[in-house]
């Protein structure tokens, strides 16, 4: 896997997934299911966006994802 795995390509796929979650429409669901779908989409976007912002490195077969969660300065 080490020779063919591209950690930057993986991060890019997560960015694309975050964008897809943001752009996807709401299916025709009503009532509590509608809110559950909206809540799940928010969590999906958050997770995909965080991984899409990661700095990925592969060192000796160990994948490291660094995500800075500190608030921006200024």
Residue 52 to residue 46: CA distance in whole angstroms: 10
Average pLDDT, the chain: 91
Is the per-residue pLDDT at 74 higher than 50? yes
pLDDT given at position 3: 62
Q: How many domains does the chain have?
A: 1
Between 4 and 68, residue with greater pLDDT? 68
Residue 53 to residue 46: CA distance in whole angstroms: 11
- Whether residue 72 is contained in a domain is answered as no
Is the per-residue pLDDT at 2 higher than 80? no
- Whether residue 28 is contained in a domain is answered as yes
Alpha helices, DSSP H, located in the chain: 7-23, 31-52
Domain that holds residue 29: 7-66
Is the per-residue pLDDT at 19 higher than 90? yes
- pLDDT, tens only, 38-69: 999 999 999 999 999 999 999 888 999 999 98
- Whether residue 74 is contained in a domain is answered as no
């Amino acid at each position: 896997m080490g020779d063919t795995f591209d950690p930057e390509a993986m991060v890019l796929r997560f960015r694309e997934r975050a964008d897809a979650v943001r752009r996807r429409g709401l299916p025709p669901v009503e009532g509590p299911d509608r809110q559950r779908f909206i809540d799940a989409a928010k969590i999906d976007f958050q997770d995909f966006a965080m991984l899409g912002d990661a700095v990925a490195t592969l060192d000796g077969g160990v994948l490291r994802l660094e995500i800075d969660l500190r608030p921006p300065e200024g």
